């Protein structure tokens, strides 16, 4: 199943990390993920992105076994309950990619852009789309001192190199998505520059996915606003990204983003 690129889509975020839930019990996690999926799909998400490893700044890595145990039962339950929904898995690990592909996911969303061992092999052997994201450093330490010669061309060059490597490994061009990785080893100024010049990343053969939802750059632009109060800021940033050519918006607040998309599409010439 290929993801549409003609018109922008909203990808709803489903986190299955322990800190997202009051009780880490298996049944509870599956049940909560199903309820959240139902709401996000009802609100207009056409893709759901399921992640079992936090990659936000400062986050610690998780083991393969823990990530598999969190993510795979949730994918299985989602596929059974919502067979028509497009699923994406947010992972860097080849083992998790392989198991997710067996559950029928349409996209592998990888903040490491398939640089982990065997990730490229696993994805090229399957009929799956891949999202290649740019990150400088690793989540635990990436915000300590990000440096670029030119953030736009550095990110663009990295993403096009990874896309070429994917094509050479046999992943079809139509299956490759790029993502500048807002907040991943980038200062506020770097993030602002990337969004201001996002159209430079859309002039490639590959469609663009962006994640801005509730990130610290939105909080900082609003004067250190807490996470729960970043919805409007996130929605405006998402609308700007779409007007500059982004084709998938990865968001928490699906309903609000879908409204913004409808208005932007109706009124922008
Ligand atoms: C993203 C993304 C992602 N973001 C893709 N996958 C996260 N493809 C997880 C902050 O500054 O943008 N694209 N998977 C979440 N990561 C972050 C990063 C969350 C930074 C918060 C911040 O607050």
Our answer on whether the CB atom of 215 is closer than 6 Å to any ligand 1 atom is yes
Q: Could you tell me the residue range of the domain that residue 57 belongs to?
A: 9-267
- pLDDT-derived band of residue 23, with 50, 70 and 90 as boundaries? low
Given a cut of 90, whether residue 24 has pLDDT beyond it is no
Q: What is the pLDDT of residues 186-224, one digit of tens each?
A: 999 999 999 999 999 999 999 999 999 999 999 999 999
- For the chain, what is the mean pLDDT? 96
C-alpha 85/C-alpha 38 separation (Å) is: 10
Average pLDDT over residues 233-237: 98
- pLDDT-derived band of residue 21, with 50, 70 and 90 as boundaries? very low
Our answer on whether the CB atom of 56 is closer than 6 Å to any ligand 1 atom is yes
Asked if the structure places residue 60 within a domain, the reply is yes
Given a cut of 80, whether residue 176 has pLDDT beyond it is yes
**Residue 156: helix, strand or coil by DSSP?**
helix
The catalytically annotated residue of 214, 215, 230, 255 is 215
Q: What is the predicted pLDDT for the residue at 17?
A: 87
Mutate to test the pocket of ligand 1, among 184, 210, 220, 222 (most ligand atoms within 8 A of CB): 184
Average pLDDT over residues 117-141: 97
This model's pTM is above 0.85: yes
The catalytically annotated residue of 186, 230, 250, 255 is 250
Asked if the structure places residue 1 within a domain, the reply is no
Asked if the structure places residue 3 within a domain, the reply is no
Asked if the structure places residue 231 within a domain, the reply is yes
Asked if the structure places residue 186 within a domain, the reply is yes
Asked if the structure places residue 58 within a domain, the reply is yes
Given a cut of 50, whether residue 183 has pLDDT beyond it is yes
- pLDDT-derived band of residue 20, with 50, 70 and 90 as boundaries? very low
pLDDT cut 70: percent of the chain above it: 98
Count of domains forming the chain: 1
Q: What is the pLDDT of residues 31-89, one digit of tens each?
A: 999 999 999 999 999 999 999 999 999 999 999 999 999 999 999 999 999 999 999 99
The closest-lying atom of ligand 1 relative to the alpha carbon of residue 182 is 12
| 222 within 8 A of 234, measured Cβ to Cβ | no
Q: Which of 129, 59, 123, 57 is nearest to 96 (CA)?
A: 123
Asked if the structure places residue 144 within a domain, the reply is yes
C-alpha 214/C-alpha 251 separation (Å) is: 8
Residue 118 is among the residues annotated as catalytic for this protein: no
Our answer on whether the CB atom of 55 is closer than 6 Å to any ligand 1 atom is yes
Asked if the structure places residue 4 within a domain, the reply is no
Given a cut of 90, whether residue 233 has pLDDT beyond it is yes
Our answer on whether the CB atom of 134 is closer than 6 Å to any ligand 1 atom is no
What's 103's domain CATH number?
A: 3.20.20.20
| 250 within 8 A of 13, measured Cβ to Cβ | yes
Q: Quick one: CA torsion of 230, 136, 54, 208, rounded to 10 degrees?
A: 60
């Amino acid at each position: 199943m290929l993801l549409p690129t003609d018109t922008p889509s909203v990808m709803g975020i489903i986190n299955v990390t322990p800190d997202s839930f009051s009780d880490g019990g298996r049944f509870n996690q599956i049940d909560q993920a199903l309820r959240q999926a139902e709401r996000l799909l009802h609100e207009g998400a056409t893709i759901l992105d399921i992640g079992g490893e936090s990659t936000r700044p400062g986050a610690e890595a998780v083991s393969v076994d823990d990530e598999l145990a969190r993510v795979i039962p949730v994918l299985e339950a989602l596929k059974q309950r919502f067979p028509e929904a497009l699923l994406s898995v947010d992972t860097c690990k080849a083992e998790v990619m392989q198991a997710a592909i067996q559950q029928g996911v349409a996209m592998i969303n990888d903040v490491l852009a398939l640089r982990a061992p065997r990730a490229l092999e696993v994805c090229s052997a399957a009929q799956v789309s891949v999202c290649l994201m740019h990150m400088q450093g690793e989540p635990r330490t990436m915000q300590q001192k990000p440096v670029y010669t030119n953030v736009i061309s550095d990110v663009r060059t990295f993403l096009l190199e990874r896309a070429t490597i994917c094509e050479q490994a046999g992943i079809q061009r139509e299956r490759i998505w790029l993502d500048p990785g807002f907040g991943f080893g980038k200062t506020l100024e770097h993030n602002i520059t990337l969004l201001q010049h996002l159209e430079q990343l859309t002039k490639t053969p590959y469609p663009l996915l962006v994640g801005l939802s509730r990130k610290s750059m939105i909080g900082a632009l609003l004067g250190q606003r807490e996470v729960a109060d970043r919805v409007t800021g996130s929605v405006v940033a998402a609308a700007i990204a779409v007007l500059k050519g982004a084709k998938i918006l990865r968001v928490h607040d699906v309903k609000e983003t879908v409204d913004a998309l409808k208005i932007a599409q109706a009124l922008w010439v």
